[in-house]
Amino acid sequence: MTEDVTDQVALVTGGGSGIGAGIVRMLAERGLRVVVADIADEPARALAAGIGGLAVHCDVRSLADNRAAVDAAVSTYGRLDVVVLNAGIAEGNSIDDFDEDAYRRAMGVNLDGVVFGLTAALPALRTTGGGRVLAVASLAGLAPVPEDPVYAANKAAVVNFVRSVGPALATEHILVNALCPGYTDTAILGRFRELLVGANWPLMQVKDVVAAAGTVLDSEDGGEAWLIQSGHPAQPYRFRGIPGPKA
Ligand SMILES: NC(=O)c1ccc[n+]([C@@H]2O[C@H](COP(=O)([O-])OP(=O)(O)OC[C@H]3O[C@@H](n4cnc5c(N)ncnc54)[C@H](O)[C@@H]3O)[C@@H](O)[C@H]2O)c1
């Protein structure tokens, strides 16, 4: 995103609060016109009004909602360049607290939301001739999380989805990357925040993750999972290669 961005248009899912809201502000400060797509209407509307952008109601679990959000961006601003698939939830259930509804919700928002979001955005990005997509995964997609294994599973799925689609889409100048932040001080931490603070865990601030998101959006590669850990520079995570088959 080192090019002139003043006529560019971004769409941020889950853009009404936390990391998404920070990314919305950062993109608006860079000069992009930003669509704030969220299931929570009021925060999205207030933020969009503050940056002169557009708020759209979107439940990312619905492919139709994702498509409607893209249509709103294109019909209002004429194009789409940047998509941040950030909406997410954490149910916080261990395997002994398994709950089917919570499982479906978490997989729906965290995994379907990314797969549907990219699927919905691709036609508009191809019309533009390229673009950038940032899927907000988590460090939980790279490391085990016994406290919430379903969250770890859907975030790992996002990482491998991005690694799977990234190289081919990069040949079309559509750079798709995953952002994998560690614990960050937002509402999603819920009751877990108290435990982390009590353990003196160095929680990242939204501004730290937003700065890292800016770095990833400026990178010239696709299909990478960027590790964002407190006290470390943002960096693409280097996966150990898989040995090839033996005859
Ligand atoms: N905070 C952390 O420690 C942390 C760490 C790593 C990754 N993440 C990821 O960052 C992303 C943003 O989370 P956050 O920390 O800012 O939390 P947050 O709770 O502040 O923000 C989540 C946003 O997603 C929206 N959302 C929830 N369900 C939705 C749905 N069905 N459709 C559309 N929008 C929906 C919420 O309304 C909210 O605006 C999530 O994907 C989360 O998993 C967070």
Closest residue CA from atom 19 of ligand 1? 188
133 lines ligand 1 (CB under 6 A): no
CA of 216 to the centre of ligand 1 (A): 18
Is residue 151 among the annotated active site residues?
yes
State whether the beta carbon of 16 lies less than 6 angstroms from ligand 1.
yes
60 lines ligand 1 (CB under 6 A): yes
The three-point CA angle 63-67-71 to 5° equals 170
Q: How many whole angstroms separate alpha carbon 46 and alpha carbon 193?
A: 26
Residue nearest to atom 23 of ligand 1 (CA): 14
**Nearest residue to 66 (alpha-carbon basis) of 8, 108, 31:** 108
H/E run at residue 233: none
Q: How many angstroms separate the alpha carbon of residue 88 from the centre of ligand 1?
A: 4
Specify the residue for token string 């006290």.
231
The DSSP element (H or E) to which 24 belongs, if any, is helix 18-29
pLDDT at 4: 72
Contact 131, 219 (CB under 8 A): no
Distance 18 CA to ligand 1 centre (A): 7
User: Cβ distance 67 to 59 under 8 Å?
Assistant: no
User: What is the token pair recorded at 7?
Assistant: 């006529």
What is the reported pLDDT for 5? 79
Which 3 state secondary structure label does DSSP give 37? Answer: strand
Tokens 């006529």 locate to 7
Which phi and psi (to 5°) does residue 37 adopt? Answer: -110, 120
For ligand 1, say whether the CB of 199 is within 6 Å of any of its atoms.
no
Measured from the CB, is residue 58 less than 6 Å from ligand 1?
yes
* pLDDT number for residue 2: 57
Number of other CB atoms surrounding residue 146 within 10 Å: 8
Residue ranges of domains in the chain, CATH in brackets:
9-229 (3.40.50.720)
Atom of ligand 1 nearest to the CA of 15: 39
Whether the model pTM is above 0.95? yes
CB 27 within 8 A of CB 83: no
pLDDT number for residue 136: 98
pLDDT of residue 45: 98
Hey, which residues does 134 pair with through a beta bridge?
A: 84, 177
Give the whole-angstrom CA distance, residue 3 versus residue 9: 13
Query: Are 210 and 22 in contact, with CB atoms under 8 Å apart?
Result: yes
Per-residue pLDDT of the chain (247 residues; tens, 9 = 90+): 656 777 999 999 999 999 999 999 999 999 999 999 999 999 999 999 999 999 999 999 999 999 999 999 999 999 999 999 999 999 989 999 999 999 999 999 999 999 999 999 999 999 999 999 999 999 999 999 999 999 999 999 999 999 999 999 999 999 999 999 999 999 999 999 999 999 999 999 999 999 999 999 999 999 999 999 999 999 999 999 999 999 8
Query: Do 11 and 82 contact (CB within 8 A), yes or no?
Result: yes
Which of 9, 14, 99 is CA-nearest to residue 61? Answer: 14
Q: Is 117 in the pocket of ligand 1 (CB under 6 A)?
A: no
Q: Side chain identity at 156, as an amino acid letter?
A: A
